[in-house]
A and B are shown apart, each in its own frame.
Chain A
Amino acid sequence: MSFGLFNNRDMTLGQKLLQMNWMLILLLIVICTVGFAMLYSAANGNWQPWAVRQMMRFSAALGLMVIIALIDVRFWMRWAYVIYLGALALLVVVEVAGDIGMGAQRWIDLGVIQLQPSEVMKVALILGLARYFHGVGHEETARPLMLLLPIAMIGAPALLVLKQPDLGTAGMLIMAGTALLFLAGVRIWKFLLVGGIGLACIPIAWGLLREYQKNRILTFLNPENDPLGAGYHIIQSQIALGSGGVFGKGFLQGSQSHLQFLPEKQTDFIFTMLAEEFGLAGATGLIGLYVLVICYGFAIALRARSQFARLLALGLTVNFFLYFFINIAMVTGLMPVVGIPLPLISYGGTALLTLMIGFGLLMGVYIHRDLRIGRSGIDED
């Protein structure tokens, strides 16, 4: 039994590299390239200030992803709780720092990058939950007491993030965690019960929200209420989308984007710019690419031989799905604007890094798909 990172009884490093899912990597590169083109357009046809930096980040993150993919899945399983607790600790640190007087601070400055613990938590939570349910048998999941720990694991970071306040990320944590509980086999009636209680609690939750969060939700419900204020982003985004039509206005030709009617076009609203310039065709194409990535995630998850690997793979896939679904839903006016970027395309380092780490883990699952792992993490067979 070894705790080494790369050594494996069955595979050499070279074999592992050959086992990598190169098609998935190619797919990620294609999506990111679309992102570079959109960042180039967002800067009115300039590589600066966004596209070049994003390319450099992507290159670094791609390398990191490959390294992570080569690490044995059992390593992650062993360290899963530690990573989860570390991420939770970081969340507490920013919370305290924020209270000390840095305002709504969400990141820790590491010099090279600004680390957002809430982003790290998205991966760490999935690791932790996958680890937990790996050790719990199907019958045991039926016991309500067994659910207390996972619910606490979801609830603690979600509350900390909500307090930051970051409604979008908190929502994503809850949804990803719930999806994991669902996949682990928690009885469906329990979800219905919790869902019912949740609906009943909405009035209480409403009171806990900050003013601007309430405004966002109210504005989402009726953007025309405040066309120049809070509703401006949503209205302008829909105008940009709608005016794009089926084939769009052409690359660099989006009037809404380039004449600055569209806010945050390099980050949260980059999908809008894409859909304005390339129309329904371009938007559907990008969604198609995302769906392909999701399909790979499902295939990898279903193919894995251990519960940890399965849950990890599908948890990460669900996480990725939530990213693009929430982002597109919010720019098209289906959801309130909650500040979730478009994965692999929006400008920004932390989200890209987290996503690529996630894909690294996913690919690690693929490479080590045939490993069977015992309930406590000890090799079987």
Chain B
Amino acid sequence: MPMLKDRDQERQKVFTRRALLLGGAQLGMVGALLGRLYYLQVVEADRYRVLADDNRINIRLLPPPRGEIVDRFGMPLAINEKNYRVVIVREQAGNVPATLERLGRLIDLPEREVRRVMREMKRKRAFVPITARENLTWEEVSRVEVNAPDLPGIAIEVGLTRFYPYSETLAHVLGYVAAVSESELTGDPLLELPDFRIGKNGVERTYDEYLRGKAGTSQVEVNALGRVIRELSREDGTPGRRIEITLDMELQRYAMERIGEESASAVILDVHNGDVLALASTPGFDPNAFNRGLTPKEWEELISNERGPLTNKAIAGQYAPGSTYKMVVALAALDAGVTTPNQRVFCPGHMELGDSRFHCWKRHGHGHMDMRDAMKQSCDVYFYEMAKRLGINRIAAMSERLGLGQTLGFDLPGERSGLIPSREWKQARLGKSWHQGETLIAGIGQGYVLTTPLQLAVMTARLVNGGIAVKPHLIRREAGDGLGALGSNLVPDSGFPSMGISAEHLRIVRESMAAVTNEQGGTAYRARITEPGMEMGGKTGTAQVRRITMAERLAGVKKNEDLPWKFRDHALFVGYAPVNMPRYCCAVIVEHGGGGSAVAAPIARDLLLETQRRDPARGRPLAALPRREG
């Protein structure tokens, strides 16, 4: 059948032609595939390699251990303790409730925690460990470890947690660390770690940057679900810096115990270099509780306590200085030349000014008083007279030279400035003009005048250290290389500047303070130090909290003890020792404690005595001290 053959040949020809066309098209398409592969795998390879690594590599932060805080003798005050916590991994545990139940028989695991774990389980991936409980004791750790075969998916992890071995004794100085709050996030990823703690108060807050250190990083390979497959590289961070503070821990503890249950504070300073040896404020609180996290009940108790355990009274408590202010007035009077040391003022028990009568604490008067006697017996009328001669602004000027009415750049957050009134201040603040009567009241440290215990200690130091404007600080220069920038109150290389007050006038005031404690009839004579070479000088003060009305005065002033606690007087004392060659000073305020001589002076005596006993340089010549005569 030739026809058929011909026809088939024709078809074959068409087929062959078209097959080749199709083959060509297919080759072209394969070429497109190869071109695409070339583009992806050669041209864009680097970009995709980066993307693949971004996919696979996660950078995890390794939190650095926080720097320790030690006292001037190297005693550890804030340390990092191992925190053993028990974690559970869902995918390994299988039956989580049953495992938790078995765990609950070995360690204390409250029902509330079990519920929290179950809640977190639902939100997190199966391989993420969830903390069941923290702060396990050694005994609990071993109990869990021994029973490990029965506890699938349970593991013990070790972390570091801040611990304050002295707890309440140092709470106000060191502050505490706690979980980072939203407003504190700076973009530093370290702060976003769930377990990270930040300094919230005290030294922990001021020097947080130094204590924190630098985070290390660990590069880990993760899969698409975020599970860590392996660690690729690790770069250890820098641990936080150790900070040595000027405090003497033993003295601090002694001070806290000595002021005891009172709502009180005490500051002990080195008068020459401004080292703070003790900074006590009672009642305290447990800083470890903040690290752990307070329960709402604990928090409620802390803030509702009328004795203010959370306030560092030594720097943030503002009190009328009472008679401790009389040194300022005396010095101002000498400086201004409105009196001489020997000029006498007659005290009949009160002073008349216009229609008002200003009373002396001694109802029947002291009689003729010169400066030394007035200080020794704390005669109010003498200082009314001095104040009247000076006027408020000259008193204010002297106050400021002595460090009052201003913040001192101290190392702790929350430092208050107190208040030294002046004509301009009253006009600006209250919109009223100044009355002379108010000058008289200010002359005995009452009225508007407010000071903090730290300011009173600094004032005392400046009075007795030869006239240099010392500033208080908490950081030791020797340990604080690089900290100088922040510890701005450290003794400058050139020493603190002079206040420019006559050394003779300072000597007169200092000697009159010595008379207060060391001469019969002095208000603090009974609280004197009798150890030879350790005697102290000082000044008592009793600050009224409320105004005594004329009606009360007529009816007979109530005794302090008969008043409710909140209305009793504050007891104050500022002192220095040794009396002949001042080295230390101390300010004590007992809130609503009663009289300065009866309550505050004995405390100050004990503190100054203990301070001198603990002085490692005792018996050595004083030439070694950084001292500069003004």
Q: Which residues of A contact B (CB under 8 A)?
A: 137-138, 179, 182-185, 236, 238-246, 255-256, 258-261, 275, 279-280, 283-284, 287, 291, 294, 298, 301-302, 306-307, 310-311, 314, 318, 321, 325, 328-329, 332-334, 374-375, 380
Contact = CB atoms under 8 A, between A and B. Distances in A.
A259 B4 contact: no
B56 A242 contact: no
B242 to A, nearest CB: 42
Interface of B: 1, 4, 7-8, 10-12, 14-16, 18-19, 21-23, 26, 29-30, 32-34, 36-38, 40-42, 44-45, 47-49, 51-53, 55-56, 221-225, 229
B30 to A, nearest CB: 6
A259 B18 contact: no
A246 B30 contact: no
11 contacts: A138-B7, A239-B48, A243-B52, A246-B41, A246-B42, A280-B42, A287-B33, A291-B30, A301-B19, A310-B19, A325-B30
Contact of B40 (A183, A238, A284, A306): A238
Contact of B18 (A185, A241, A246, A258): A185
Contact of A280 (B1, B16, B37, B224): B37
B55 A374 contact: no
Nearest to B29: A325
B45 A246 contact: yes
Contacts of B8: 306-307
Given A242-B47, A255-B56, A291-B30, A182 B11 contact: no
A275 B222 contact: no
Contacts of B42: 245-246, 280
Contact of A332 (B10, B33, B229): B33
Contacts of B14: 138, 185
A240 B52 CA distance: 7
A321 B32 CA distance: 14
Given A310-B15, A380-B1, A245 B41 contact: yes
A307 B15 contact: yes
A242 B19 contact: no
B437 to A, nearest CB: 77
A183 B15 contact: yes
Contact of A298 (B23, B53, B225): B23
Contacts of B41: 241-242, 244-246, 275, 279-280, 283
Contacts of A236: 55
Given A238-B48, A239-B51, A275-B37, 15 more contacts: A182-B21, A183-B19, A236-B55, A239-B48, A241-B48, A260-B225, A261-B223, A284-B37, A287-B33, A298-B23, A306-B8, A310-B19, A325-B33, A332-B33, A332-B36
Contact of A261 (B7, B26, B224): B224
Contacts of B223: 258-261
B45 A302 contact: no
A182 B24 CA distance: 14
B55 A259 contact: yes
A152 B605 CA distance: 114
Nearest to B26: A321
A259 B56 contact: yes
Contacts of A184: 15
B3 to A, nearest CB: 10
A318 to B, nearest CB: 7
Contact of A242 (B12, B23, B49): B49
A129 to B, nearest CB: 13
Nearest to A301: B19
Nearest to A179: B22
A326 to B, nearest CB: 10
Nearest to A294: B26
Given A242-B41, A242-B48, A302-B19, A261 B30 contact: no
Contacts of A301: 19
Nearest to B1: A380
A241 B104 CA distance: 51
B22 A314 contact: yes
A71 B90 CA distance: 59
Contacts of A179: 22
Given A238-B40, A242-B48, A137 B11 contact: yes
Given A137-B11, A260-B225, A280-B37, A242 B22 contact: no
Contacts of A329: 32-33, 36
Contacts of A328: 33
A184 B8 CA distance: 11
B219 to A, nearest CB: 13
Given A242-B44, A242-B49, A374-B4, A302 B16 contact: yes
A256 B29 contact: no
A261 B57 CA distance: 12
Contacts of B221: 255, 259
Contacts of A256: 52, 55-56
A48 B47 CA distance: 34
A332 B40 contact: yes
Contacts of A182: 18, 21-22
A374 B224 CA distance: 61
B26 A245 contact: no
Contact of B49 (A243, A298, A332): A243
Contacts of A243: 45, 48-49, 51-53
A245 B49 contact: yes
Contacts of A332: 33, 36-37, 40
A328 B33 CA distance: 7
Contact of A260 (B19, B29, B53, B224): B224
Q: Which of A275, A302, A375 is the most central at the interface, judged by chain B CB atoms within 10 Å of its CB? A: A302
Nearest to B11: A138
Contacts of B56: 255-256, 259, 261
Contacts of A246: 41-42, 45
A255 B220 CA distance: 13
A184 to B, nearest CB: 8
Given A137-B7, A294-B26, A239 B15 contact: no
Contacts of A241: 37, 40-41, 48
B229 A259 contact: yes
A24 B263 CA distance: 99
A335 to B, nearest CB: 10
Given A260-B225, A310-B15, A284 B7 contact: no
Contacts of A245: 41-42, 45, 49
Contacts of B1: 380
A334 B15 contact: no
Nearest to B52: A243
B34 A284 contact: yes
Contacts of B45: 242-246
Contacts of A255: 52-53, 55-56, 221
A376 B223 CA distance: 62
B549 to A, nearest CB: 76
B15 A261 contact: no
A178 to B, nearest CB: 11
A334 B33 contact: yes
Contact of B19 (A238, A298, A375): A298
A186 B7 CA distance: 15
Contacts of B49: 242-243, 245
Contacts of A279: 41
B4 A375 contact: yes
Contacts of A314: 15, 19, 22
A215 to B, nearest CB: 21
Nearest to B9: A138
Contacts of A259: 55-56, 221-224, 229
A165 B392 CA distance: 96
Contacts of B44: 242
Which of B32, B40, B45, B47 is packed against the most chain A CB atoms within 10 Å? Answer: B40
